[in-house]
């Protein structure tokens, strides 16, 4: 009809499509698993752990109930000393700082750089004789600068741990993130690059002692004979979720390839808009960015978000625009971090997922560019 404004409805994430697009395959996998009667710590989980090791080129993998739990277990699996502080970046989910606190450490929040990653220059100023390690976070599918982190780790004799919840499949210098530090935590939340249909996670490591300790801790502190010989918790990835993940892992490179293609299209359509800054470098030869999120920095962020919403487009401001350093928590002193404060005035995530079409991205970019011509 002439004069009617056309509005395309684009959700930030189409949860239903995760199941519907491969419904028959999932039902076969689920039914086959349930018919075995193996629900906890079964063969599907063992198979999945082996496949993750092969994919990430690590020696050990243990499925857990979540990435949060994986981080807690990983930290609990390392021998303690008199060092009590762990440094983490401001741009991460609250789960990261929860894991540090619940594992008995004091979180120290570092500023970020303009890509949203931990700022190695600022980080150095926070290291003291109390620093146990650095928890590197690979936010949005991007990667930390591991060359710099390794130099810092060696110079100051501190561990590197990895929160790789948003970084599955990401590479730094052709090495998968998650397997670079002393251990890495993975998330299989449904919207992740590799996701299941509920909560799920894993800890990966090349350290045998961490592996054996973590294996006991995730199962109530029980050893291979079933005897309890240390404190533990209940953090086991369900066998049926492992079956789903085994199927999804066969398609993960296809998933990553599509996200990279969609991100390139966003970049092409928005790169000439002076009101937008990208948090990633296009055609980066060092980092394979997997685009768990497509986060950009935009002027008039809140007005743009409302404009896009009015035009049927859902967007997201991560963590409700409250970085870790601004959380109000007991026994935690929040702080002012200059780059973080500036970043969170402008950051906005645009839709990016495997159900998104190029036609929808053209529509989104057209509306964004229109907003800045008004």
Q: What is the pLDDT along the chain (374 residues), one digit of tens a residue?
A: 445 578 899 999 999 999 998 999 999 999 999 999 999 999 999 999 999 999 999 999 999 999 999 999 999 999 988 999 999 999 999 999 999 999 999 999 999 999 999 999 999 999 999 999 999 999 999 999 999 999 999 999 999 999 999 999 999 999 999 999 999 999 999 999 999 999 999 999 999 999 999 999 999 989 888 899 999 999 999 999 999 999 999 999 999 999 999 999 999 999 999 999 999 876 688 999 999 999 999 999 999 999 999 999 999 999 999 999 999 999 898 899 999 999 999 999 999 999 999 999 999 999 999 999 97
Strand order in the sheet with 183-187: 60-64, 201-205, 183-187, 159-163, 131-137, 85-89, 106-110
pLDDT number for residue 346: 98
CA distance 274 to 296: 12
Q: What is the CA radius of gyration of the chain?
A: 21
Class of domain 19-249: alpha beta
pLDDT number for residue 374: 75
- The CA-CA-CA angle for residues 334, 338, 341, to 5°, reads 70
DSSP string over 135-201: EEE-GGG----HHHHHHHHHHHT-EEEEE-TT-TT-EETTEETTSSSSEEEEE--TTSSS--SS--E
pLDDT number for residue 4: 53
pLDDT number for residue 295: 98
Structure-token match 């487009």, residue found = 313
Q: Which CATH number fits domain 252-371: 3.90.1150.10, 3.40.50.720, 3.40.190.10, 3.40.640.10?
A: 3.90.1150.10
The residue ranges of every structural domain in the chain are: 19-249, 252-371
Using DSSP's 3-state secondary structure scheme, residue 337 falls into: coil
Structure token pair of residue 7: 């509005």
Q: Please, are residues 114 and 122 in contact by the beta-carbon 8 Å criterion?
A: no
Decide the pairing of beta strands 106-110 and 171-172: unpaired
CA distance 9 to 105: 45
Sign of CA dihedral 348, 110, 145, 73: negative
From residue 354, alpha-carbon distances to 209, 258, 265, 351 in Å are 38, 7, 14, 10
pLDDT number for residue 69: 98
Which residues lie closer than 8 Å to 241 by C-beta, 6 or more apart? 188, 196, 197, 198, 200
DSSP string over 199-215: --EEEEES-HHHHHHHH
């Amino acid at each position: 009809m002439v004069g009617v404004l056309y509005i395309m409805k684009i959700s930030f994430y189409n949860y239903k499509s995760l199941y519907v697009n491969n419904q028959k395959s999932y039902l076969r996998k689920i039914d086959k698993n349930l018919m075995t009667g193996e629900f906890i710590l079964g063969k599907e989980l063992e198979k999945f752990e082996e496949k993750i090791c092969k994919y990430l080129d690590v020696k050990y993998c243990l499925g857990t109930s979540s990435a949060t739990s994986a981080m807690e277990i990983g930290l609990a699996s390392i021998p303690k000393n008199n060092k009590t502080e762990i440094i983490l970046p401001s741009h991460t989910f609250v789960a990261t700082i929860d894991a540090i606190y619940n594992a008995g450490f004091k979180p120290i929040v570092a500023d970020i750089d303009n890509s949203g990653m931990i700022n190695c220059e600022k980080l150095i100023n926070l290291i003291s004789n109390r620093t146990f390690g650095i928890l590197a976070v690979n936010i949005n599918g991007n990667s930390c600068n591991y060359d710099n982190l390794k130099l810092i780790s060696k110079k100051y004799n501190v561990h590197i741990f990895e929160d790789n919840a948003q970084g599955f499949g990401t590479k730094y210098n052709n090495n998968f993130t998650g397997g670079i530090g002393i251990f890495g935590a993975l998330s299989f939340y449904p919207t992740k690059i590799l996701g299941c249909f509920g909560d799920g996670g894993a800890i990966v490591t090349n350290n045998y002692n961490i592996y054996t300790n973590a294996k006991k801790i995730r199962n109530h502190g029980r050893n291979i004979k079933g005897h309890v010989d240390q404190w533990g918790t209940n953090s086991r990835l369900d066998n049926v979720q492992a079956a789903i993940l085994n199927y999804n892992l066969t398609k993960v490179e296809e998933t990553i390839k599509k996200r990279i293609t969609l991100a390139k299209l966003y970049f092409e359509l928005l790169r000439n808009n002076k009101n937008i800054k990208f948090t990633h470098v296009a055609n980066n030869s060092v980092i394979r960015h997997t685009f768990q999120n497509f986060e950009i920095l935009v002027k008039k962020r809140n007005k743009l978000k409302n404009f896009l919403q009015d035009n049927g487009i859902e967007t997201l401001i991560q963590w409700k625009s409250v970085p870790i350093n601004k959380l109000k928590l007991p026994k935690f002193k929040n702080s002012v971090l200059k780059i973080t404060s500036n970043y969170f005035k402008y950051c906005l995530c645009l839709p990016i997922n495997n159900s998104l079409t190029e036609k929808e991205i053209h529509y989104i970019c057209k509306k964004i560019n229109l907003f800045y011509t008004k």
